[in-house]
Amino acid sequence: MKISRRNFLVSLSSMALTAPYLKAEASPLYLNDVGKLDRLGRIDSLCFGSCNQEDEAQPCWGPINNLNPDLFMWLGDNIYADTENMDIMWRKYQRQLAIPGYQRLLRQTPIIGTWDDHDYGANDSGASYRMKEQSRELFFRFMNEPQNSKRRDRPGIYNSHQIGSKHGKVKIILFDLRYNKMDRKAPNADILGEEQWAWFENELATSDADFHLLGSSISVLSSSLATTEDWDKFPASYNRLFSLLNKYNPRGTLFLAGDKHFGCFSSRPSGARGQRYFEMMSSGLTRTVPGFYKPTVRKYYGAHKSFTEINFGHIRFDWNRDVPRLICDIRGRAGQLALRRIFEPDDYTGLLREVPQKGLELLD
C-alpha cells in the first residue's frame, strides 16, 4: 500500500494530537464499507440527508432502511460538535455510530459524504479553524476512510465517486466548503481553494457520465436568508462555478444541498436556450426551522416547493427509458412523500429539464 508523504505527515501529526480520544469503543460497532460502491454494477436509488443532532431522536433511519437504497450520502452537519475539544467531538461521533437505525444502515448500505460547519468544528467556520486537521482525521475515522484513499492526500475532504457502466453511469462530486473557505468579507472571497478548483475542473473535463450529482453542504440555488451561508454570498466562487459548468456542460447536472433546516426545490437559468440548473435540498434529519418561521419559509420559497418538517432526500434512477430520468422525492419522518420533481436530460443541451407529472403513474 502506497501512502504519500503528505498523507503520512498529516496522519502522524493528527494522531499525535488525537491519540487520547482514538480509543477502541466499549462495544464493537459496525463501520462503513465504502468498498461496496465498487461492487455496484449500477445505481438505482440513493438517499441523502443533513442537519442531524446526534443526541436527539432520529426517526428517518427506519424509512431510509426500508427503502433499501444503493447509497446514502451525508451532506453536512452530520453531528453538532461546535467545539475545539476533540474528545467531545469524537464522543459525539461515537454516539452517532451507535444509533441502532444508523447501525442497520451501515450493515446494508455504503455511505459517502461531506461535512459542514457544525461537524467541522464551529458555526460558519472555515480555513482559520485551528483544529481543522484533527477534525478532518475524526471525520475520516467516522466514515472509515481507507488509509490509502486519495482523499487523504488532498487539502480537505472533497471527493468524487463514479458508479455504473457505459449505459447508466452516475458521477457524484462532493465539495468541501469549510477547509479552505475564506472570510466572505475578504476581497474576492473564495470558498474552495485553488487545489479544489483544479480538481473540480478535471472531474468535469474527464467525465462521460449520464448524470452528475454535485453535493454541496450549503445551498447553491435557493434564495439566501440573512442567517444562512449560501454560494451567492461568495460571488467570485459562485460565478466561477457556473463558468466551469457552462464550459464543460456536464450532462444531467443536479445540485444536492443541505443546511437550511427545510426541504426545497430551486432553479436558475443556465443561459443555454432557456434551460435551467436545478437544486434539491434536504434538511434536516432532526433539525427544522422554528414553528413561528415556517409560514415565512413556505411563503418565501413557495408552499409547493418547500417542506418545513423533518425530512430526507430520495432519488431513483429510471434507466428503463430511451432518455433516463431522475425521480426526486423529499420524504418526511415516516417516509411519506412530501415533494416530488422528475427530471430528464434535454436532448440538445444535456441539462436537466423538468418532466410534467400529470398523468404519470409512479409508486411512492
Backbone angles phi, psi at 52, to 5 degrees: -125, 105
Distance CA 363, CA 245 (A): 33
For the sheet with 72-75, list strands across it. 111-114, 72-75, 45-49, 311-318, 325-332, 337-345, 352-354
| Distance in Å from the first CA to the final CA of the chain | 45
Would you write out the chain's pLDDT as a tens digit for each of its 364 residues? 444 545 544 444 444 444 444 443 445 688 999 888 888 889 999 999 999 999 999 999 999 999 999 999 999 999 999 999 999 999 999 999 999 999 999 999 999 999 999 999 999 999 999 999 999 999 999 999 999 999 999 999 999 999 998 779 999 999 999 999 999 999 999 999 999 999 999 999 999 999 999 999 999 999 887 788 999 999 999 999 999 999 999 999 999 999 999 999 999 998 766 789 999 999 999 999 999 999 999 998 988 899 999 999 999 999 999 999 999 999 999 999 999 999 999 998 999 999 998 755 555 5
Q: What is the pLDDT of residue 272?
A: 65
Q: Which of 273, 259, 243, 267 is nearest to 328 (CA)?
A: 267
Which CATH number does 5-10+33-354 carry? Answer: 3.60.21.70
Q: What is the pLDDT of residue 85?
A: 98
- Give yes or no for a contact between 113 and 74, defined as CB atoms under 8 angstroms apart: yes
Domain ranges across the chain = 5-10+33-354
Distance CA 330, CA 339 (A): 5
For the sheet with 263-269, list strands across it. 159-163, 170-174, 211-216, 253-257, 276-281, 263-269, 306-307
Q: What is the pLDDT of residue 141?
A: 98
- Give yes or no for a contact between 140 and 112, defined as CB atoms under 8 angstroms apart: no
Nine-digit cell at 295? 409560514
Q: Which of 129, 101, 103 is nearest to 115 (CA)?
A: 129
Helix crossing, 100-108 with 86-97: angle to 10°? 70
Distance CA 218, CA 46 (A): 19
Distance CA 8, CA 137 (A): 12
* Residue linked to cell 443555454: 272
Buried b (16+ CB within 10 A) or exposed e, 3-35: eeeebeebbeebeeebeebeeeeeeeeebbebe
Label residue 350 exposed, middle or buried (CB < 10 Å: 0-12, 13-18, 19+).
middle
Q: Cβ–Cβ contacts within 10 Å for residue 111, how many? A: 22
Q: What is the pLDDT of residue 166?
A: 75
Q: What is the pLDDT of residue 27?
A: 52
Q: What is the pLDDT of residue 26?
A: 44
Q: What is the pLDDT of residue 3?
A: 43
Q: Any idea how long the chain is?
A: 364
